[in-house]
A and B are shown apart, each in its own frame.
Chain A
Amino acid sequence: MSALLDIRNLSVAFDTDDGLLTAAENVSFSINPGEVVGLVGESGCGKSVTALSLLRLIPMPPGKILSGEVLFDNRDLLRLPASELRTIRGRRISVIFQEPMSALSPLHRIGAQLVETLQLHLDIDHQAAWNNALDWLKKVGIPDPKERMRDYPYQLSGGMLQRVMIAMALMLEPALIIADEPTTALDVTIQAQVLELLRGMKTRESSLLLITHDLGVVWEMCDRVMVMYAAKIVEEGSRDELFNHPAHPYTQALLDSVISLTSRTKRLSSIDGQVPSPLAYPAECRFAARCKYAFDRCRRELPPLYDIAPGRRCACFLSEISNQT
């Protein structure tokens, strides 16, 4: 099966007063048609920047894409003229942002924003677009959709706005949806509603790239998972493989610090120390200072991302060793 989206060696950095900040470094992965892929990591690891760079949605400057290719429909999105990129944004690849309140225009009614999106990409008249938008608000479970079309974003709750965002992302039936922490700003019961909605989307053939820090959400939603740490992908695998047999010490530690609802341990395991500064990443393994398995080599060189099994990658010297034996 050929991949829908293929990202190769993507590196993104930001110019700051304190120097060049590395946000993503040599990130490579692909997404297959219909697949739900999770990109997880803690704040500042570069997961959002990676996802937003695919559509060149990061502010440039100060941001800059240092290297890499993003292949989609045999075209490199990073080198496409802006006019062509606009025909892909929204139509073929759409984005659901974390904060719907700041992603929607506060000055335009919900209906107008949905209709604009439709008319921009499809050759339909206002009435047809209006009806189409209304249909989608119904599909994402918004009560009284007719009235809501005439509302401004501030009149809707966070959960309702996120549904509007989802409707907007889905209505052009894109091949790929990038969801950047779509439920982080929502309460758990509302989050459950939104996840249910996104899960229903799986049947619609679209691929989903889900960016989140919540391992529970990843478990419930994703087929395949990539873990990022300090601007690099450190592990990749199918959901079951990665959760049940984490290969990278960081993934293991991350899974250990998840607080279980059922078992009651006396003490939570935590990861000591801190993430190194993105302004000056060390030349060695970036997790070495916090890793309980670190040995000499980890403190000398940066481990590459090893292929450890079909569909499994891990950036740890220990996986190289265990693979050879």
Chain B
Amino acid sequence: MTPLLQIHNLKTWFPIKRGVFSRTIGHVHAVDGVSLEIARGETVGLVGESGCGKTTLGRTVMGMEPKKAGEIFLEGTPLWPARHKDTLPLRRRVQMIFQDPYSSLNPRMTIQEIVTEGLLQQKLIHPQARAETAKSLLHEVGMEPSILHRYPHEFSGGQRQRISIARAISVRPELVICDEAVSALDVSVRAQVLNLLIDLRASHNLAYLFISHDLGVIRHIANRVVVMYLGVVAETGPASEVLDRPAHPYSRALISAIPVPFGEMRQRIILHGDVPSSANPPSGCRFHTRCPYAIAACAEQIPPLEPIAPGSPRLVACIRKHELRSLPSILA
């Protein structure tokens, strides 16, 4: 079966311009050769720290950033075509929920206009059916139908995020890219919105590309996890396995660094230094400058993303992955 989304060796670079004539003097390698697949109805969690390229990856899949190299397929159809006419039907199938519910809703549009704009654009409903459709969409995301003619500024962050979700699901997409969709919300509200996303996933058979730096959230919602570092994939596999027994030294450090109550963490790995610049990524393994287990070969060899054992769904990009398997678990 063809996966819903297939990304092959995707690269998204941003030019760095300097001088009077805006000469390009280099590139930020935001996404630098990433491959991943998402099946229908599956949720893939994309994790990593700021600047690792997770948001850029999401935006490239969405067609908001042009790709430098590589391929993206939506059930075999290549994304994104150059002509607007060809883009429109694909747009319906991939939708996005943004991090900041304050800037992602047009303040001059009413809630009804916001949640039905896509439907009208796609000519999926008659303009007269607008109010009816908007009401049922709002009902689906747990909002009162009486808010139809109000404006975004009248709502709290959590409510706005529900409205964003209603807008995203209005055109019956197959894939929804959630870019830090719950990160700006307080804990109690975050749980409400996560539960909503989980319910909608079941009722609409949605696939999510769930981008987050919050591993607790990922653990809760994702079937599979992709850990990114400086534009490349460090590790991927089933969510529970990657989060419980991370194999890549970077994933281990990342997971061990999360402060959790009740002493769930047995061991804390403190990384030294900052993430290097993605304009000039380190040679060999990109993590070798901060890796506690780095050896001389790590600086020379680019580690391939390979199964940790033959036939395993867990892929790890580390040349010492077999030696490091004997390390103690980081969770109590």
* A residues apposed to B, CB below 8 Å: 42-43, 143, 157, 159-160, 187-193, 195-196, 213-220, 243, 253-255, 257-262, 264, 267-272, 274
Is the pair A260, B260 in contact by a Cβ cutoff of 8 Å? yes
Q: Give the residue name and chain of the A residue nearest to B217 (CB).
A: A259
Q: How far is the CB of B24 from chain A (nearest CB, A)?
A: 23
Is the pair A257, B259 in contact by a Cβ cutoff of 8 Å? no
* Most chain A CB inside 10 Å of its own CB: which residue of B186, B194, B255, B256: B186
- In the bound complex, residues from chain B placing their C-beta under 8 Å from that of A43 are 186
Q: How far is the CB of A270 from chain B (nearest CB, A)?
A: 3
Is the pair B264, A254 in contact by a Cβ cutoff of 8 Å? no
- In the bound complex, residues from chain B placing their C-beta under 8 Å from that of A254 are 187-188
A160-B274, A187-B50 as given contacts; A271 in contact with B261, CB under 8 Å: no
Is the pair A269, B191 in contact by a Cβ cutoff of 8 Å? yes
Partner of B192, one of A191, A214, A260, A270: A270
Is the pair B264, A42 in contact by a Cβ cutoff of 8 Å? no
A216-B261, A260-B264 known, 7 other contacts, Cβ within 8 Å: A42-B186, A192-B268, A215-B261, A217-B259, A264-B240, A270-B192, A271-B188
Q: How far is the CB of A240 from chain B (nearest CB, A)?
A: 10
A124 to B214, CA, bound (A): 46
Q: How far is the CB of B94 from chain A (nearest CB, A)?
A: 27
Q: How far is the CB of A287 from chain B (nearest CB, A)?
A: 11
Is B257 part of the contact surface with A, judged by Cβ < 8 Å? yes
Partner of B188, one of A219, A243, A257, A264: A257
* Most chain A CB inside 10 Å of its own CB: which residue of B191, B219, B268: B191
The count of residues in chain B whose C-beta lies closer than 8 Å to any C-beta of chain A is 46
- In the bound complex, residues from chain B placing their C-beta under 8 Å from that of A160 are 274
Is the pair A261, B271 in contact by a Cβ cutoff of 8 Å? no
Partner of A187, one of B49, B188, B217, B219: B49
Is B263 part of the contact surface with A, judged by Cβ < 8 Å? yes
Partner of B195, one of A215, A216, A267: A267
- In the bound complex, residues from chain A placing their C-beta under 8 Å from that of B49 are 187-190
Is the pair B217, A219 in contact by a Cβ cutoff of 8 Å? no
Q: Give the residue name and chain of the B residue nearest to A183 (CB).
A: B259
Partner of B213, one of A187, A220, A253: A187
* B residues apposed to A, CB below 8 Å: 49-50, 156, 158, 186-192, 194-195, 198, 213-217, 219-220, 240, 243-244, 253-265, 268, 270-275, 331-332
A51 to B239, CA, bound (A): 39
Q: Give the residue name and chain of the B residue nearest to A220 (CB).
A: B259
Partner of A42, one of B188, B214, B259, B263: B188
Q: Give the residue name and chain of the B residue nearest to A255 (CB).
A: B261
- In the bound complex, residues from chain B placing their C-beta under 8 Å from that of A260 are 216, 260, 264
Is the pair B217, A216 in contact by a Cβ cutoff of 8 Å? no
Is the pair B195, A261 in contact by a Cβ cutoff of 8 Å? no
Interface SS majority for chain B = helix
Q: How far is the CB of B128 from chain A (nearest CB, A)?
A: 34
A-B pairs, top 10 by smallest CB distance, nearest first, are A216-B259, A270-B191, A259-B216, A271-B188, A192-B257, A219-B261, A42-B186, A187-B49, A268-B191, A270-B192
A269 to B186, CA, bound (A): 13
Q: How far is the CB of B256 from chain A (nearest CB, A)?
A: 8
A-B contact pairs, 8 of them (CB 8 A): A188-B49, A188-B213, A191-B257, A216-B260, A257-B190, A261-B215, A262-B264, A270-B192
Partner of B194, one of A191, A255, A268: A268
Q: How far is the CB of B300 from chain A (nearest CB, A)?
A: 24
- In the bound complex, residues from chain A placing their C-beta under 8 Å from that of B263 are 219
- In the bound complex, residues from chain B placing their C-beta under 8 Å from that of A253 are 188
A78 to B266, CA, bound (A): 44
Is the pair B217, A188 in contact by a Cβ cutoff of 8 Å? no
* Most chain B CB inside 10 Å of its own CB: which residue of A143, A157, A192, A220: A192
A44 to B85, CA, bound (A): 46
Is the pair A219, B186 in contact by a Cβ cutoff of 8 Å? no
- In the bound complex, residues from chain B placing their C-beta under 8 Å from that of A269 are 191
Q: Give the residue name and chain of the A residue nearest to B214 (CB).
A: A259
- In the bound complex, residues from chain A placing their C-beta under 8 Å from that of B261 are 215-216, 218-219, 243, 255, 258
Is the pair A261, B254 in contact by a Cβ cutoff of 8 Å? no
- In the bound complex, residues from chain B placing their C-beta under 8 Å from that of A196 are 268, 270
Partner of B187, one of A191, A258, A267, A274: A258
A267 to B258, CA, bound (A): 22
- In the bound complex, residues from chain A placing their C-beta under 8 Å from that of B190 are 257, 270
Is the pair B258, A188 in contact by a Cβ cutoff of 8 Å? yes
Is the pair A270, B215 in contact by a Cβ cutoff of 8 Å? no
Is the pair B187, A257 in contact by a Cβ cutoff of 8 Å? yes
Partner of B270, one of A157, A193, A264: A193
Q: Give the residue name and chain of the A residue nearest to B52 (CB).
A: A187
Q: Give the residue name and chain of the B residue nearest to A188 (CB).
A: B257
Partner of A159, one of B191, B240, B258, B274: B274
